[in-house]
Amino acid sequence: MNISHLLDTRLTAAMRALGLPETAAAQVKPAANPDFGDYQANGVMSAAKQLKINPRELAQQILAQADLSDIAAKAEVAGPGFINIFISPEWMASQILAIAGPNSPLIQTADPAQTVVVDYSGPNLAKEMHVGHLRSTIIGDAVANILGYQGHRIIRQNHVGDWGTQFGMLIAQLEQLQTRDPSDDAAPKLADLEAFYRQAKQNFDADPDFAALAREYVVRLQSGDAQCLTLWQQFIDISLRHCEDVYHRLGVKLTRGDVKAESAYNADLPQVVADLRAQGLLTEDQGAQCAFLPELANKDGSITPIIVQKSDGGYLYATTDLAALRHRNAQLKAKRILYFVDARQGLHFQQMFALARKAGFVDADVELEHCAFGSMLGDDGKPFKTRTGGTVKLVDLLQEAEQRAFTLISEKNPDVPETERREMAHKIGIGAVKYSDLSKNRISDYVFNWDAMLNFEGNTAPYLQYAYVRISRILTAMAETETPPKFEQENNAENRAELAAELKHPVERALALTLLQFGEKLHTAGRDSAPHILCAYLYDLSGAFMRFYENCPILKEGVTENQRRPRLLLAQLTARTLKVGLGLLGIETLERM
């Protein structure tokens, strides 16, 4: 249920019926202050101003026309022409009962459903994944989950970097090792990809013969030499396996099937350049093929060119991205394409999108969005590095997260068997790393801090996981009573009345309203590619539950059945919403902590 949308549709329709122009809209939002109701329409004043009529009178007319009596207990005009709406407990009760069954969908399916390509992670396969890949990988995955849950058709694309001059050096190194030790299995030699890369680079810098060989391999690779391709493929396979270990550990859904590597577009690159040239979009500049887009001129009037082919005939990152974009439009039929890539690539995407539109590589109705994010910083406010200033491997970071969580959990639960404590530590440690990232507005840089993210209080994963554990405990305890309650409640008049009576209690009402807002929060999070909106919601929901539970006991003696049933229903729905919400963020729940 998207209450904002429902009210907005009703009020805006009333505005139309009163003859207001197409541009007028009710602009309904959740009210910031509960004294002003649950929802507020802010659009009347500007409509009235345009028509030069009294806004308060117009608001009255709109209210009379719309008739919200089925939804609202009270709807009134306030201040200069706001409309304040107080949702009725009866309507809330019927909506809660509609989503409360264990198999009822918690939200309405998006209509129309869109085909959305989500481009994320995209590591360079020459090296192992490092912390620089964390944000793209987890933010992209969360947004893909959120949009998928709303019913959109999601196509994940892992645009891995598997092509370029570095690979000549790497396969020369692999060949050298295989000649020395002719066992067929390349895996042990590449167990530590970082060390392998370092060795290759050392040889390349120190040994002219090796460097010459590496260069020759680049050329042979590009011309499709079978031996080189086999070595390259071996290398890529193992490097991808390293990525998959990381994805698995992170609970990220990317699979081999989602990989559409840079090299997959190789055959199309000459055509991309030819098509751009045929449309007169290219200029030769010092032997390179460039596009100059006057609409993207810098402040001083100069234009930064987009180079699509180098003077030696080689293609670039932008050329491959243009080919990928064309593929996503024509073959994958995407209507929305999201790129989760570091903010520092802003110009690249701006140029690439503009050129692709100009060249007609994407249909006019396709949305292209660079979902940029800031950097992960250390406590010193500088980019996150190891103590000696090196890049932090992602596996090492995740290892440390689990180890820290294990120490914490072992202090709290010394009697739990170690295997179970390890499992708990995995869920808590990984959850903490992901949540501390996802809960920040992605555009900003943020400070990576172990103590903050592993705190059991505050807006953290452990806090939410613990809230879930507490609710589960109540539900389990109830299920074990002599007469276990019926969790499944029919949406009939009797149950509605019973629940509505309880919703007169302000904390219960607040919890119910928050539960009903899951759909609209997910909608906004998906629309803005902003998982932090879902995080903030889950944090609010946990808070609303805690306040409810302090004031409205469930298990205590003296609680009547008429109170217990609706309260249990709210508790159960809270647990389910938390689990689903955390699941969309790629964070697991636990049964105890």
Size of the site for ligand ARG (CB under 6 A): 9
3-state secondary structure of 248: helix
Instruction: Kindly state whether residue 156 participates in binding ligand ARG, applying the rule CB under 6 A.
Output: no
Distance of alpha carbon 161 from alpha carbon 493, whole angstroms: 59
Cα–Cα–Cα angle for 394, 396, 401, nearest 5°? 95
Query: Which residues 6+ apart lie within 8 Å of 485 measured at CB?
Result: 478, 564, 565, 568
Considering only CA atoms, which of 364, 577, 404, 554 is closest in space to residue 475?
Answer: 554
CB of 163 to ligand ARG, least distance (A): 10
Residue 245 vs 342, nearer CB to ligand ARG: 342
CB of 390 to ligand ARG, least distance (A): 18
Distance of alpha carbon 160 from alpha carbon 123, whole angstroms: 5
Instruction: Kindly state whether residue 137 participates in binding ligand ARG, applying the rule CB under 6 A.
Output: no
The sign one gets for the Cα dihedral 462, 463, 466, 471 is negative
Instruction: Kindly state whether residue 489 participates in binding ligand ARG, applying the rule CB under 6 A.
Output: no
CB of 339 to ligand ARG, least distance (A): 6
Interface residue with ligand ARG, options 135, 159, 260, 567 (CB under 6 A)? 159
Residue 38 vs 321, nearer CB to ligand ARG: 321
CB of 353 to ligand ARG, least distance (A): 11
Candidates 119-127, 137-145, 164-172, 499-507 — which segment interacts with ligand ARG by CB under 6 A? 119-127
Residue 157 vs 465, nearer CB to ligand ARG: 157
Residue 238 vs 464, nearer CB to ligand ARG: 238
Residue facing ligand ARG at closest CB distance? 122
CB of 357 to ligand ARG, least distance (A): 16
CB of 134 to ligand ARG, least distance (A): 12
Distance of alpha carbon 510 from alpha carbon 31, whole angstroms: 13
Residue 133 vs 509, nearer CB to ligand ARG: 133
Considering only CA atoms, which of 287, 282, 278 is closest in space to residue 310?
Answer: 287
Interface residue with ligand ARG, options 37, 81, 161, 429 (CB under 6 A)? 161
Residue 10 vs 159, nearer CB to ligand ARG: 159
Q: How far is CA 331 from CA 155, 316, 318, 334, 356, in A?
A: 12, 22, 19, 8, 16
588: left (phi over 0), alpha (psi -120 to 50) or beta: beta
Candidates 117-125, 166-174, 377-385, 482-490 — which segment interacts with ligand ARG by CB under 6 A? 117-125
Instruction: Kindly state whether residue 351 participates in binding ligand ARG, applying the rule CB under 6 A.
Output: no
Q: Taking a C-beta distance cutoff of 8 angstroms, is the pair 42, 27 a contact? A: yes
CB of 342 to ligand ARG, least distance (A): 7
Beta strand residue intervals within 65-192, DSSP E: 72-78, 82-87, 115-119, 153-157
Distance of alpha carbon 24 from alpha carbon 47, whole angstroms: 5
Interface residue with ligand ARG, options 265, 339, 463, 549 (CB under 6 A)? 339
Which amino acid, one-letter code, is at 149?
Y
Query: Which residues 6+ apart lie within 8 Å of 65 measured at CB?
Result: 14, 17, 18
Instruction: Kindly state whether residue 155 participates in binding ligand ARG, applying the rule CB under 6 A.
Output: no
Instruction: Kindly state whether residue 341 participates in binding ligand ARG, applying the rule CB under 6 A.
Output: yes
Q: Hey, which residues between 309 and 328 contact ligand ARG (CB under 6 A)?
A: 321, 324
Instruction: Kindly state whether residue 258 participates in binding ligand ARG, applying the rule CB under 6 A.
Output: no
User: Interface residues with ligand ARG (CB under 6 A)?
Assistant: 119, 122, 124, 159, 161, 321, 324, 339, 341
